Structure 1
Amino acid sequence: MSVIAEFTVDADDFALHHALTTAPDMIVEIERVVATMEDRIMPYFWVSGGDQSVFETAFNEDSSVTNVQKVDEIDEAVLYRAEWTENIETIVYAYIKIGATILQATGRDEYWELQMRFDNREEVSQFQTYCTEHEISFELSQIYHQEEPMASAQYGLTSKQRQTLVTALEAGYYDIPQATTMTELASNVGISQSAFSKRLHHGHKNLITNALTVSHPDDES
């Protein structure tokens, strides 16, 4: 049975240490990770929460990435694509050697919070052993079995988008009158208002596209 593990790792043992520490107010979320035919790993980063110009300068100077490209910008959050140049051991080992899936990765200041899915507990142990042997700072927060299908499989939602929508619903954001504000929700979740708004925006779009339309609205047919 697959296992989900959540843990933290120091930024200098993972990626973007220079960029994160130069702009400590910024929040970086890895949207997805793509392994290319050449075994290069191409992450996409959503960046929000502070001075984008300061972060972008530090991002371009960070030795762990190259070929930085700005892809999109929504509600003061910017999507970048880059290529990792250094051997980011945790990602390389988990993504290529073990075959684990990175579900979430959020970086801020000195550390990253990661959520990964492994095929079984033995693979989690192998991953922990690998981190220990390579002196990678690793703190396991929790480990559990997935008890329900991922929302993304049903409605195209990421786990963060689903969590954001459910949190807003349970807090009364959709009530009339509203029982809470987006600013309050973002504060409770621990992210910026713009990042929370971005998740709602993408969540609504994916939910409507997959639940209420027969074909994608952008399709010519």
Structure 2
Amino acid sequence: MVLTAEITVSTDTFALGSLFETFPNAVVEFEPVVPLQGDRETNTPLVWITGVEPERLLPALRKTDDVEAVQRLATVDENVLLELEWGDDLDGIVQPLLDTGGRLLTARGTATNWKFDLLFDSHVSLSEFNMTVTNNGIPVTLRKLSSSTVQREPSDGDSDRSILPNHRETLLLAYHSGYYDTPRECQLAELASKEDVSDSALSKRLRRATASLIERTLLDDESVGDPSYE
């Protein structure tokens, strides 16, 4: 089961928020990009910006703390397509989204707020994201939540790899390393070292993966409740 959450946050809690202080009529929309070169695409998004003169826009973006570099790719009427390179200190909702394995599907920013469509692989991941962002002092408004079961006919020799798109490899590594054996052949710290993450991060990842596996194999849509946003 995958979950799509439509949320809004205040403008100043996401990258480029300071842009609207100078250009209150600006509209920022992220262009979906299919990753082909590892992590580079996550660090160099494509964005359309309207409502700002291009000659004023680029100098303003280069002065923001969020942007390391900016390149104009195209100008169509009053729409400017830019490639941005993020700085190293992104905060707000970005790090919690990365930590919980969430995916950013769409993003639209105005002087009023940022609206996001986010994809999570389980209710646990979504709840952890919401809790972390809220604890960071960022109010999140949930506008819409929908769920669906991912189904795909496996080909010969292809077991159901679509069950856990984000955590399958972690579960398999833990299994083959003897983490689930009794007694354990591999401790959490050793497994975390193999994954090059902290013990805490790996423990959370394994819990999310296990919860997602249970939801997708033992529960149906009607038996899974919505996460709490209080």
Q: TM-score range by the shorter chain?
A: 0.5 to 0.7
Question: Paired residue for 1:49?
Answer: 51
Check conservation: 1:3, 1:118, Cα contact below 8 A.
yes
Identity of aligned residues (%): 27
Which residue, 48, 71, 74 being the options, matches 2:73?
A: 71
Check conservation: 1:69, 1:82, Cα contact below 8 A.
yes
Check conservation: 2:10, 2:113, Cα contact below 8 A.
yes
Question: Paired residue for 2:140?
Answer: 138
- 1:67 and 1:36 mapped to 2: Cα distance? 19
Question: Paired residue for 1:160?
Answer: none
What aligned pairs does 1:123-134 form with structure 2 within 5 A after superposition?
A: 123-134=125-136
Between Structure 1 and Structure 2, the one with more helix by share is 1
Secondary structure of the residue aligned to 1:80 is: strand
Using structure 2 for the length normalisation, give the TM-score.
Answer: 0.57
Check conservation: 1:3, 1:117, Cα contact below 8 A.
yes
Question: Paired residue for 2:157?
Answer: none
What aligned pairs does 1:114-193 form with structure 2 within 5 A after superposition?
A: 114-146=116-148
Question: Paired residue for 1:14?
Answer: 14
Question: What's the CA shift for 1:57?
Answer: 2.9
- Give the letter for the 2:17 counterpart: H
Question: Paired residue for 1:92?
Answer: 95
Question: What's the CA shift for 1:60?
Answer: 1.9
Larger radius of gyration: 2
Find out whether 1:112 has 2:102 as its counterpart.
Answer: no
Distance 1:40 1:3, change over 3 A: closer
Distance 1:148 1:72, change over 3 A: farther
- 1:71 and 1:48 mapped to 2: Cα distance? 14
- 2:45 and 2:139 mapped to 1: Cα distance? 21
Gaps of 5+ in 1: 150-221
- 1:77 and 1:84 mapped to 2: Cα distance? 21
Using structure 1 for the length normalisation, give the TM-score.
Answer: 0.59
- 2:51 and 2:60 mapped to 1: Cα distance? 15
- 1:45 and 1:100 mapped to 2: Cα distance? 20
Question: What's the CA shift for 1:39?
Answer: 10
Gaps of 5+ in 2: 152-230
Check conservation: 1:44, 1:81, Cα contact below 8 A.
yes
